[in-house]
Chain A
Amino acid sequence: QERLQESGPRLVNPSETLSLNCGVSGYPISSSHFWGWIRQPPGKGLEWIATISQNGATHDNPSLKSRVTMSVDTTTHQFSLSLKSVTAADTAVYYCARPVCIAGRCFFDLWGQGILVTVSS
């Protein structure tokens, strides 16, 4: 069964870097053209963070002002997210997801269960 699982620290200090991993199981990580991250602040809507393609190119939400880095590790079947210089506004449930593009239409067909990350000292 295809599954994504987020992992990482659940509490991050302000101004530091938030780092999360997403473990991929039941599906070859190199078979997907893209991998991505989405977040949801408590009580609010979904926000796309970033997507990484097979060639390593990363595309991120302009609202995050280039604070995002993503990478894929095919040996450990994981991909990761780093968000630097965090503030309380970055407190959210972070989801990893698999984007799929069909005939120029791209959507997320597989999601992790999500991990709540709180930014606080």
Chain B
Amino acid sequence: YELTQPPSVSIFPGQTARITCSADGLPMENAFWYQQKPGQAPVLIIFKDNERPSGIPERFSGAGSGTTVTLTITGAEAEDEADYYCQSGDASGSFYVFGSGTKLTV
């Protein structure tokens, strides 16, 4: 079971970034997103459909349809430049898988 993301996405500040995560043609029932800046641990930015943890800006949103989920950053800022990873797993917490990661350049 693999989650495929585009290796890189480049946008100008103020534009909208869309990062996809595809599950080898299998339906994705749940997916979560993490942001990782150089030298830092990943930070959860989207969970449980389209909810954001406290402190995560509203410009981050998530959506899913069938076999693909998408992280959208509306009006991206320079500080959003980072690696982004999707994550899925089973319902019992006994299996987790991360996407291949996408480097966002703003």
Contact = CB atoms under 8 A, between A and B. Distances in A.
Nearest to B41: A111
A106 B89 CA distance: 7
A112 B43 CA distance: 10
A114 B98 contact: no
A1 B70 CA distance: 31
B93 A33 contact: yes
User: Which secondary structure characterizes the binding site on chain A?
Assistant: strand
Interface residues of A, number: 26
Given A47-B98, A103-B48, A113 B41 contact: yes
Given A46-B101, A99-B96, A108 B44 contact: yes
B96 A48 contact: yes
A2 interface: no
Nearest to A96: B41
B96 to A, nearest CB: 4
Interface residues of B, number: 27
Contacts of A33: 93
Contacts of A99: 93, 96
A101 B48 CA distance: 10
B65 interface: no
- Which of A34, A99, A101, A106 has its CB near the most chain B CB atoms (within 10 A)? A106
A107 B91 contact: no
Given A105-B30, A106-B92, 20 more contacts: A34-B93, A45-B85, A45-B101, A46-B34, A46-B42, A46-B101, A48-B95, A48-B97, A48-B98, A53-B93, A59-B93, A101-B93, A105-B47, A105-B48, A106-B30, A107-B89, A109-B44, A109-B47, A113-B40, A113-B41
